[in-house]
Structure 1
């Protein structure tokens, strides 16, 4: 079996060379069934424009989907009227055929739907392969889309006898790149899809212990598959690993192990993967694994704490004979770029080692949300493995990674000796992608402004004073047509008023990518050499801002642990005397702060003047930490945060629950349609998470869930208190409740079967994990919650949001209530907006 490894996409971002050679026809890549493949290529369809608007926020509009959920969509016909959108435009279907590349390509796909049909002579299963789409409804069931046209998303689908309908949602990428669609028949019921592997690169002669990879299993059966294992064979060495369960009629990326001990020379090696259940072998596929010498760039895999999935990072090793205690450079890549290609753009450095994280995918989350977590996970692993000089940690990146550098640099001041954004844009509010831009709140309704408050951590302009913590080197081509140099000039102007340590360079004639010097720029690394992270005790002046203490809370010896108003900007400005015994300054939007007084011996008196409060404290040890709590306008010495308070571990928004090896729990009670919705929605989210974040998640029925079995794990509940038995096991004390025919928020009740709800709640049996509920009061409300915009990087979600289904048509006016809990997780002490 021939296999081609991952390659760099070239779609308007950083362009680097392929990892291994040529693309191979899909028919050779995927399946080794004994029967010949029988493919059905969709060549004609109908398109309807201007019927949806999705972006980087919780609110969205989809006029088609709302009518589809209500059952009011008539059989589409050419020139037949579909609906009237909110601009008063009468939208009709029109015919569309594939072009010479066998793709549907039209501007109408940007915010439209493509209608495709297949007439089946029997009830049967098939594999649906669509690329370039945002998502697709298959006979009414939502399924994940291949937004960036990677081509590796193959979904098992159940076809009816007779007419089968596919409503394919497009995006801006769809209109630019086109949509291709086909059905594959006569495939095995369970098989390995090797087109999207996560693989290590072996260091020949050095790697002797088992390494891990990951590959996709396709379950084209009506039952969850469990008890599977993958057996690998590499140069005569075998390794086995049991794999997690695969949901019915879906896909999951699962880990496998390899034994590299027989690899002694660089090159490409065949590795056989066998999918085994008991004594039966369900499928066998071959993949190619690369081995390199000790001096070459390589990749390493690890298990992410987000979801337990296998992720990778790449390494440009330190030049042999370099510093005994190396510097560490974290490089974050551009959109569409693999981490291994990012690493290979740099020559080895005598002064240190460079590691490239993945952002979970080549596009992933724009280095925000779980992309940010990936960068921190890789940084933590690199520190343990390479044991760098803790004073010499540096951050750089290109294009989307330039944004990542601006964002991570502002979010985690004091973590980097210096940062160097290359060809970067500062914010997702100013430069979007397929998910659009984070909306400007100007002119927005008050309730939408409240929800968008949850995106505040993305705005580096509000965090800009944090850049004073280290050096900043800005590198940008002055002829860049992808990310205009005006973004660099804008940031130069912002920083010029206060950033004393900045170097700025525009490369003459430089395009977006003008060769390896776009990132591997000698003056940039010379600039790094001059910078170190100061010791905490050497930092006398502090000016630190955060929008979310659960994302970023600390700067050297100062921490903002809790806010007065959730997710608004919190700032602390302090000065400390040379003898470290006097601290004075001011705070904004902070209710609990802490000062690390390490460096003072036990019994040392310390004077603190904060916002007019005078506090005297005597240290108890040589490593004291003092906690201060605001009581009205006064600060007093208090206790550390308790697990039951909002703070650095849990601070709200439903995104917080998608962590700690989360599990998706679908309800199995209610009507047949409600039960089908719960499973289909959980599967859709799991498939989208796999696609967006190279992820892998347990999808289980509520009957399988117990708090003890899934202790300390994030939980996503699909359904309501009546349809999902896990609900009352975790949410008894939650003031927001969704049930059959009613949604409650404190003393307010909203009735009807068309209500939807998103909300989060801390697990009372865990110090770190949270529960998110995605559901509705009835089938229409549940379907209105189908959109998973929480996977869009930087999108803001409140702690809770209750809305009617016609939000899909009317927008913010359909929200009944939204808000943030207080620091005690009560509604009464939080922020909210209610609308009649």
Structure 2
């Protein structure tokens, strides 16, 4: 949709009934698509090359890789659902007559995405009912092309309640807690089915007790919605018997006129009851929540913390409800960002860690008695997070968990003799639990599984039992005879499991003299006890540090593999405790024996970080770290840029077609992030982007150097370039208008944030990126990758190049076809 043409429409508010789609043209899947960055699809080839399609009944369409299928007419059942083979990964098309111009919304379920008059919007693949796309439509025929998902599709057009309105669905709400008066946060969808961007809108939340709290909304573009952060004033006093608290939200425009109103009912709880708490996430600035099962009375000592991860289709509130209170600890259940979310990887992992830190601070728990558990997908998350962060959990306890996507989730696999395939394999190494299994030595492990589990085979647990038996001295294993996947709350709230947890405690940091730690990526997990891996020689391959301190000789022995820079943080060992002297006193030099090399280093202050880098084949003190350098703050690969409260910056410096694509792609990604991650990302036009207003925030640029005016404000690199007609990586150039690039690079004015580039050398190259699945867990991309439209026909062999940058972000490993 072209923004200028939107502004030319005249908006009418209609009272037309809902329009349920009753007939569609549909075609079965046109390629192969799994949990993989590599897939094929005959329709996407046409969309990338031609920009749009108009299906005709009986017409043939090519299948990627050869063959063809025909468009056939299908009718919906009495409830409006289309069912059958085409609706499982195929495509469906409908032309619908809209009787009146005005504000509408598309309520569809069961589709991955939809193109409305050629413009893409994200769908509702899990049929959760969370997505109603606001649309400004003129009277007349409109085209809807659906990429179908899991075998069913339903769609209808509904008159929108207003041009700008609160969407009643998909609310993230807190509980009101007796005795707590700090500001509460809610996540509420605000939709714009009008003709122009809205600016200067605000929401005033009025409580039943007369309290008020105002929140300013971000700019929301036409045919868009935003999950907005809304402040709520907690009531000063509440009746003891109060079960709920009423709040009314009023949506004001810039002139002070109320445009829409939404009533809310918040649950009232005691802090000693099970409850939900919301918070503002530092991942993207959105409102998230976690659920709590607290002890019923104040614990006698410092409480333990149980971090419990839910399974697919379950939410944090339901997870916490499955547990009985325990007098010796607090249980918290994060959300994985959604009930399906990210399988506790990627941003699901970040959500779990964010909640862990918030809960430790909120409840004052004992850091040496922190435990990790979860069921099904949450069992997988337990294996995953426990492996990445071994010094955080005294014990882990997966129930009905699976190991990785290759054993359970159908992830893509690539031939190792193909250099680009090898790069793609490495990009997902963080998902491969087996690469980190030695990290489990630092935690106790309790494995629980039903021997008749038809959802996650008990072979997943048995395989881990076999691995652990070869090296782990502290694990327990129990198969429940006859039990399936879910056998009631006991399959999580299992008394022997909690007894095992209680027996395990992390060691006093002062007593840790040996560390054996492996990481796949320092930007995921960089530290274990006093060892920090800051940079790798080969990105996304296992990096291992085996370290041992000899206090008497003041020597630290280290064996390092695939480490370019590391740090030692010895403050805990230099502390005195209860009259006991430090394990390592300050004021005298230490000797490091790194891979057999003797490296004397100063140790004047307990808080001093000892940093060594490998230079010219030797380990040397790194008194100065060049900028930019890979670090735990930003190490790649591509998906690493999507954090630090990222913003999506679309182009206005190109042609009308280039600018339209950039805006539509940025909005599609915004919608995808909202659906998959319950997230909120601001869309910002390049001409409005001021780096000083977005300090240390991740930036995603849509377009290329010639079209996106923000490029020189955040990017300063000789490593790669993307312009009209040419993409360059190092000294390698490809000419033509059909190349697409995904890349990550440090933001030039920040030591924390990164920039992601999503764009092409021309209109075809741009469109090749339209539906790349980089928000799907288990899908990984290297630091950079170059595609052409033939990728959608040929798969892996159609990728033109890929690679990883060196630790100093200069071009390193690369592979080209």
Please tell me whether the aligned partners of residues 549 and 555 of structure 2 are also in contact (alpha carbons under 8 angstroms).
Answer: yes
Q: Is the partner of 1:645 in helix, strand or coil?
A: coil
Please tell me whether the aligned partners of residues 190 and 219 of structure 1 are also in contact (alpha carbons under 8 angstroms).
Answer: yes
Range 601-610 or range 280-289, more displaced = 601-610
Range 112-121 or range 333-342, more displaced = 112-121
Please tell me whether the aligned partners of residues 685 and 788 of structure 1 are also in contact (alpha carbons under 8 angstroms).
Answer: no
Q: Indicate the residue corresponding to 1:358 in structure 2.
A: 335
How many angstroms does 1:140 deviate by? 1.0
Aligned-partner Cα distance in 1 for 2:730–2:744: 15
Q: 1:90–1:72: structure 2 CA closer, same or farther, 3 Å change rule?
A: farther
Q: Of the candidates 735, 740, 745, which is equivalent to residue 761 of structure 1?
A: 745
Range 103-112 or range 522-531, more displaced = 103-112
Aligned-partner Cα distance in 2 for 1:78–1:486: 47
Please tell me whether the aligned partners of residues 605 and 618 of structure 1 are also in contact (alpha carbons under 8 angstroms).
Answer: yes
Please tell me whether the aligned partners of residues 326 and 387 of structure 1 are also in contact (alpha carbons under 8 angstroms).
Answer: yes
Aligned-partner Cα distance in 1 for 2:712–2:36: 29
Aligned-partner Cα distance in 1 for 2:159–2:51: 32
Aligned-partner Cα distance in 1 for 2:616–2:543: 16
Q: Of the candidates 605, 624, 633, which is equivalent to residue 649 of structure 1?
A: 633
How many angstroms does 1:314 deviate by? 1.0
Tell whether 2:308 aligns with 1:331.
Answer: yes
Tell whether 2:176 aligns with 1:202.
Answer: yes
Tell whether 2:672 aligns with 1:692.
Answer: no
1:487-521 deviations in whole A, cap 9, x for unaligned? 11111111111111101111222221111111111
Q: Indicate the residue corresponding to 1:833 in structure 2.
A: 815
How many angstroms does 1:618 deviate by? 4.8
Tell whether 2:475 aligns with 1:493.
Answer: no
Q: Is the partner of 1:409 in helix, strand or coil?
A: helix
Q: Indicate the residue corresponding to 1:515 in structure 2.
A: 488
Range 409-418 or range 317-326, more displaced = 317-326
Please tell me whether the aligned partners of residues 409 and 467 of structure 1 are also in contact (alpha carbons under 8 angstroms).
Answer: yes
Q: Of the candidates 147, 157, 174, which is equivalent to residue 183 of structure 1?
A: 157
1:31-75 deviations in whole A, cap 9, x for unaligned? xx9975610001111221121444444333222011133338764
Aligned-partner Cα distance in 1 for 2:654–2:587: 64
Aligned-partner Cα distance in 2 for 1:643–1:75: 51
Q: 1:766–1:617: structure 2 CA closer, same or farther, 3 Å change rule?
A: closer
Q: 1:713–1:294: structure 2 CA closer, same or farther, 3 Å change rule?
A: closer
Q: Indicate the residue corresponding to 2:62 in structure 1.
A: 83
Q: Indicate the residue corresponding to 2:252 in structure 1.
A: 276
Aligned-partner Cα distance in 2 for 1:425–1:578: 41
Q: Is the partner of 2:412 in helix, strand or coil?
A: coil
How many angstroms does 1:702 deviate by? 0.9
Q: 1:486–1:37: structure 2 CA closer, same or farther, 3 Å change rule?
A: farther
Please tell me whether the aligned partners of residues 42 and 61 of structure 2 are also in contact (alpha carbons under 8 angstroms).
Answer: no
1:590-631 deviations in whole A, cap 9, x for unaligned? 111222333211234534333222233452233443222223
Aligned-partner Cα distance in 2 for 1:739–1:313: 44
Q: 1:400–1:159: structure 2 CA closer, same or farther, 3 Å change rule?
A: same
1:437-458 deviations in whole A, cap 9, x for unaligned? 3322346732122123111111
Residues 171-570 of structure 1 aligned to structure 2 (within 5 Å): 171=149, 174-175=150-151, 178-185=152-159, 187-203=161-177, 205-237=178-210, 238-261=212-235, 262-264=237-239, 265-277=241-253, 278-432=255-409, 437-442=410-415, 445-570=418-543
Q: 1:618–1:779: structure 2 CA closer, same or farther, 3 Å change rule?
A: closer
Q: Of the candidates 696, 717, 723, which is equivalent to residue 733 of structure 1?
A: 717
The TM-score with structure 1 as length reference comes to 0.91
Q: Is the partner of 2:354 in helix, strand or coil?
A: helix
Aligned-partner Cα distance in 2 for 1:660–1:72: 33
Q: Of the candidates 713, 728, 734, which is equivalent to residue 744 of structure 1?
A: 728
Please tell me whether the aligned partners of residues 698 and 753 of structure 2 are also in contact (alpha carbons under 8 angstroms).
Answer: yes
The unaligned stretches of length 5 or more in structure 1 are: 1-32
Q: Is the partner of 1:550 in helix, strand or coil?
A: coil
Range 618-627 or range 788-797, more displaced = 618-627
Range 721-730 or range 575-584, more displaced = 575-584
How many angstroms does 1:125 deviate by? 4.1
**Paired positions, count:** 791
Aligned-partner Cα distance in 2 for 1:337–1:726: 40
Range 647-656 or range 456-465, more displaced = 647-656
Q: 1:308–1:745: structure 2 CA closer, same or farther, 3 Å change rule?
A: same
Q: Indicate the residue corresponding to 1:126 in structure 2.
A: 104
Q: 1:770–1:241: structure 2 CA closer, same or farther, 3 Å change rule?
A: same
Please tell me whether the aligned partners of residues 323 and 352 of structure 1 are also in contact (alpha carbons under 8 angstroms).
Answer: no
Aligned-partner Cα distance in 2 for 1:799–1:180: 38
Q: 1:659–1:72: structure 2 CA closer, same or farther, 3 Å change rule?
A: closer
Tell whether 2:44 aligns with 1:65.
Answer: yes
Aligned-partner Cα distance in 2 for 1:232–1:604: 60
How many angstroms does 1:474 deviate by? 0.7
Please tell me whether the aligned partners of residues 55 and 789 of structure 1 are also in contact (alpha carbons under 8 angstroms).
Answer: no
RMSD of equivalent CA atoms: 2.0
Aligned-partner Cα distance in 1 for 2:293–2:284: 27
1:412-471 deviations in whole A, cap 9, x for unaligned? 011100011111111122222xxxx33223467321221231111111101000000110
Range 270-279 or range 330-339, more displaced = 270-279
Q: 1:229–1:124: structure 2 CA closer, same or farther, 3 Å change rule?
A: closer
Aligned-partner Cα distance in 1 for 2:681–2:30: 32
Q: Indicate the residue corresponding to 1:49 in structure 2.
A: 28
Please tell me whether the aligned partners of residues 57 and 797 of structure 1 are also in contact (alpha carbons under 8 angstroms).
Answer: no
Aligned-partner Cα distance in 2 for 1:208–1:186: 36
Aligned-partner Cα distance in 2 for 1:336–1:661: 26
Aligned-partner Cα distance in 2 for 1:580–1:165: 77
Please tell me whether the aligned partners of residues 73 and 82 of structure 1 are also in contact (alpha carbons under 8 angstroms).
Answer: no
How many angstroms does 1:577 deviate by? 3.2
Aligned-partner Cα distance in 2 for 1:122–1:722: 40
How many angstroms does 1:661 deviate by? 1.2
